[in-house]
Structure 1
Amino acid sequence: MKIDLKELGKRIKLTRKGQDLTQEMLAEKAGVSQHYIYEIEAGRKAMSIHSFASLTTALDVSADYLLFGDGQRIFDVDTPAHHNNQLMEIAAELNPSQRDHVLEILEVMVPYIKN
C-alpha cells in the first residue's frame, strides 16, 4: 500500500491548525525542524517511523487518521496508545540497567494485577 504524501501532509496541516499550533510550535513538540514540518505538510518529504511517531504524539492524533483519513482523529486520554506513550517517556529517562529492573518488576506485578 502506497501512502499519499500530499494527503498525509494536508491532514497534518489541518490537525495542526485545528489545535492553533504554528509549524514552529509543532516542530518543537515533535523534536524536528520547522522546515521539516513545512516539507511534510507540502507533501514533499517522507518521514521515518520515528518522526511519524513523534508527530502523532505531538498532535495527539491516531496514525490511522494521519495515514488514511480514517480511524479516531484525536486520542481519548484513556487509550492504550496514550499509555504506551507515557510508558515510553518514563523509560526514556532511565538508563538500560534501570529499564531492566522496571521490566523485571512489571513481569512480577502484571499477573497479580490481572487477577
Structure 2
Amino acid sequence: MYNEQDILKQFGRNVKAERVRQGYSQEALAEKIGVNREYISRIERGMQNMSLARITILANFLETDINNLLRF
C-alpha cells in the first residue's frame, strides 16, 4: 500500500535528480514552468503536492517521460 508522504518524498527526489542532471537551479526551473522557487523547494522536499497539469508541464519542459518523475 502506498503512503501519501512517501509518494511525495519520492516524487520530490525524482524531480530534483532530473533537475540536477540537466543542470537547472531551482530558480531557473521555477521560472521556466511558471512557479516560484519556494514551490520547487517544497516539491523536492516532499512537502507540496503537484497537480497532474503541472507535472505534465514539468515533464515536457525537462523533456523526460512523465513515468521518470512518477516512479516509486
1:48 aligns with 2:35: no
Structure 2 Cα separation of the partners of residues 48 and 25 of structure 1: 20
In the other structure, the counterpart of 1:39 is 42
TM-score normalised by structure 2 residue count: 0.85
Structure 1 Cα separation of the partners of residues 64 and 70 of structure 2: 11
- Give the percent of matched residue pairs that are identical in Structure 1 and Structure 2: 38
Structure 1 Cα separation of the partners of residues 61 and 42 of structure 2: 17
How many residue pairs align between the two structures? 69
Larger CA Rg, structure 1 vs 2: 1
Q: In structure 2, what residue type is equivalent to 1:59? A: L
| Gaps in structure 1 of 5+ consecutive residues | 70-115
The structure, 1 or 2, with the larger RCO (C-alpha pairs under 8 Å, 6+ apart) is 2
Deviation at 1:38, TM superposition (A): 0.4
Structure 2 Cα separation of the partners of residues 36 and 27 of structure 1: 8
In the other structure, the counterpart of 1:15 is 18
Deviations 1:58-111 (A, max 9, x none): 211111111015xxxxxxxxxxxxxxxxxxxxxxxxxxxxxxxxxxxxxxxxxx
TM-score normalised by structure 1 residue count: 0.55
Structure 2 Cα separation of the partners of residues 20 and 11 of structure 1: 14
Aligned-residue RMSD, C-alpha? 1.6
